[in-house]
A and B are shown apart, each in its own frame.
Chain A
């Protein structure tokens, strides 16, 4: 599908959360970082961001590690995707790591293929703003692997998105993890831990499963999705304490006080990555509200994710 290329400049002046406000009244660092030796996909990650106050090659970029473009079965998808970028503009978010998910699960082969094409289209439409995750259902084995090679290798996607088709400790997932290691890209894995059986997600992954997978593959870069929308976040944080290669994504609609603070206390600030998962003001507000210094917030808001993305191997 071809989508006309447009700029992503924000429209007329609107209320906006300044970077200064984002970091709670403190001046943001603007130290340049070099990109000369970075692989091309990472260089793309670090392209100038039109319409935002943040420069291209400096610390302080805000990256939403968990975002979604709209499935095209929704009549308003174009406007909805545009609204996502406008919301990012308002909130001072420079880049959004997006996947497009199928409306029903388990995803079919055709289903995730068209989603990934739409994500690629979105990357073109919102150049420099949208970074792509390749979404696959691991049950499709060879075809899923080919899809990842195609989109990560040829289209510059920055990682892999796995949902709830399989629990991450099931062997069918392992080849995907091994491919992610080979390519040097992260896996953002849907996760939740509730103290009851979640009937509509029987193969739901939780922080404990991700810790087990991380022990099996210590070289893998795993991201546990939405600690603030994944059930008992205190359980999740504790379950991941001893899994150093699992990062915790702060996204989700829940704004419980202490979430980010406890995560920093238990797993360390280097293992948190900022996300919204479409709960935009919740995502931003949680980081702003956390009782952390500016440098720590800068890490969560973008530096930690940048560090992951620089580990890409091709």
Chain B
């Protein structure tokens, strides 16, 4: 089984996405033999009211709950986020959150964000954080959104040992405490592989060695990305089949209680 923890539905403000409806994404997943995908709203990245994107996703996946696992995009600085969180969890059955601190212009260490993280942890929701949405060099002339610095993630995971974080679209973990062995950090975060090198520097292999295969998850970033590069990483990964199985699906199943 393959579970993709890094997928999206809907429109992105700056580029056309194909395969961005439930039907089209499922067709793409079928062609790639990906069984389940964890999805959130691409539109909510730039909507002022992110909840509108969550509602779109909830409607879109209604008939596909067996394969599409929804996450809520929540901005803790936007009015009514507590109501939105409650609705996403209790009405829409969303399994966690996706946070965009740079796109939504807040700090991960701000009291509002801490309140949201605590609320998510109390509900048992995972919190996934895309380190980036797209490569900064191709950004629109309208804005300049930096990647989330990994140092800020270090402080976040330290401050919230009971919360569970899945880090998406990141790279360079081995250059900071997050990817180092015996780093003194709680083991409350997992790292998704879509941007990690699997040959040459082989950061993927280093993370498995340093943190354990239990802390690495498969993800593609589709439909922003072609799913194939992530699948190729799994194919060339030089590790045991049981470890690959953890990365392909078992870790996601355990963390998301699928």
Contacts and interface: CB of A to CB of B under 8 A. Distances in A.
Given A15-B237, A86-B199, A284-B232, A232 B138 contact: yes
A285 B135 contact: no
A310 interface: no
B19 A257 contact: yes
A14 B221 contact: no
B17 interface: yes
20 contacts: A15-B237, A17-B232, A17-B235, A21-B235, A90-B199, A90-B236, A91-B199, A195-B141, A229-B135, A230-B137, A231-B138, A232-B138, A256-B224, A256-B226, A257-B18, A281-B197, A281-B198, A281-B232, A286-B228, A288-B228
A231 B144 CA distance: 13
Interface residues of B, number: 36
B13 to A, nearest CB: 14
B144 A285 contact: no
Interface residues of A, number: 40
B222 interface: yes
B139 A195 contact: yes
B231 interface: yes
Contacts of A196: 139, 141, 144
A257 B229 contact: no
Contacts of A285: 226, 228-232
Interface string A115-146: 00000000000000000000000000000000
Contacts, number: 103
B184 to A, nearest CB: 28
A182 interface: no
Interface in B9-29: 15-19
Contacts of A232: 138
Interface string A232-261: 111000000000000000000111111100
A232 B198 CA distance: 26
A194 B238 CA distance: 37
Contacts of B140: 195
Contacts of A16: 236
A286 B200 contact: no
